[in-house]
Amino acid sequence: MQPEDIVRSGPNQYICKEGILKELDSLLSPFQAPAIITGNKSFEAYTKYVASIPEHWKIIQHAGYSSQQAIEELAPSCGAADVIIGIGGGIILDTAKAVADKLNIEVVLIPTVAGTCAASTPLSVIYSPDGEFERVAYHRRSSYLTVVDPAFLIHTPIDYLKSGIGDTLTKWYEAEAIIRNANDERAHSLFVQAALSQSVFIRDILLKDSIKAVQSSEAGKVTPSFTKTVEAVITLAGTVGGFGGRYGRMSGSHAIHNGLSFVEETHTILHGQKVAYGILVQLALENRIDEIEALLPYYQQLGFPTNLADLHIVDNQAIALQKVAEHAVNPKESLQLMGSYRADEVIAAMNVLESITTSKSV
């Protein structure tokens, strides 16, 4: 049985509470030798918020992608650690999970931005050292503990929150497309249908509360809409794939994202922003133009990319389209979970999107 066919609902323990990060030491009392894997900016923000960390906690800072090379280099640096604490965004958390898996020890995950569901999933997206997508690695353990502190996250960069909203909105579009196009009975099983229902619940939270959440973040004030949106992005989003397995994970929009990772101009654009663009391409690929039209005002409010120029792809657009499309239709890519497509069909869908969005000046 493949890892993506096993139901894994989420973290073993989960806490969302204002100020909870200041209690982390007591939460980790069962462990003797924690090692922190973090980024420079992430750790700076974290230590500013909590004031201090125990002296015996080892601190390892990582500045690159969650690559296999990084994992191999970081694991020995952890020494005799009995738990890894990941403190950062999605790349750092994916790296921490992979290192913990390699060392066969527990992992605690502390998101410093509401950018992805990485803090709640037992997998890591593995890139090359240059940032090109390679594969998804599934791990033996879910997180021992995932900690979400809205009072900390309210002061983190708004662009990451918007990115998280885009990455989470796609849960419905990708799961629905996979399940609708599946030809086997498992797609109608209890937990797959639970995943689909959860994706609807999440989509509706975002459409109702996410713009208010961004406004709350801009004001620096924790509100119910902010907390709902943060929990939807970080934790609930992970349950879609956890319940649904291969039927609730990545499909069309992430395949487009992964293809974009081979276009250098897009490397400065956050993951969820590119995934949000991928939703529109996925809809165009299925000729669901009315749904694109319905989403565009929402995209405009959040500043999501809707065309190549928004993705910083201005020159050599034809070459970029070819790169994205050829990767997206790779037999090992997730687009295959929602149907069989050719590269020219993906290019045509992206061009349809260009004609819609550039004419509207969105």
Binding residues for glycerol: 167, 254, 271
**331 close to 267: Cβ distance less than 8 angstroms:** no
Please work out, in degrees rounded to the nearest 5, the angle formed at the alpha carbon of residue 325 by the alpha carbons of 319 and 326: 90
Q: Where are the alpha helices (DSSP H) in the chain?
A: 24-27, 40-50, 68-77, 90-103, 150-153, 158-181, 190-219, 224-231, 237-244, 252-260, 271-285, 289-302, 317-328, 343-360
Which residues make up each annotated binding site for NAD(+)? 90-94, 121, 123, 127
Residue type at position 32: Q
Nearest partner of 80 among 109, 56, 62, judged by Cα: 56
Phi, psi values for residue 137, rounded to 5°:
-105, 125
Residues of each annotated binding site: 90-94, 121, 123, 127, 167, 254, 271
The b/e string for 108-128 (b: 16+ C-beta within 10 A; e otherwise) is: bbbbbbbbbbbbbbbbbbbbe
Structure tokens at 123: 């997998």
CA distances for 356 relative to 174, 284, 335, angstroms = 22, 10, 22
What lies within 8 Å, CB to CB, of 346 at 6+ separation is 256, 281, 285, 324, 325, 328, 329, 335
216 CB-contact burial (10 Å; exposed 0-12 / middle 13-18 / buried 19+): buried
Backbone angles phi, psi at 14, to 5 degrees: -140, 135
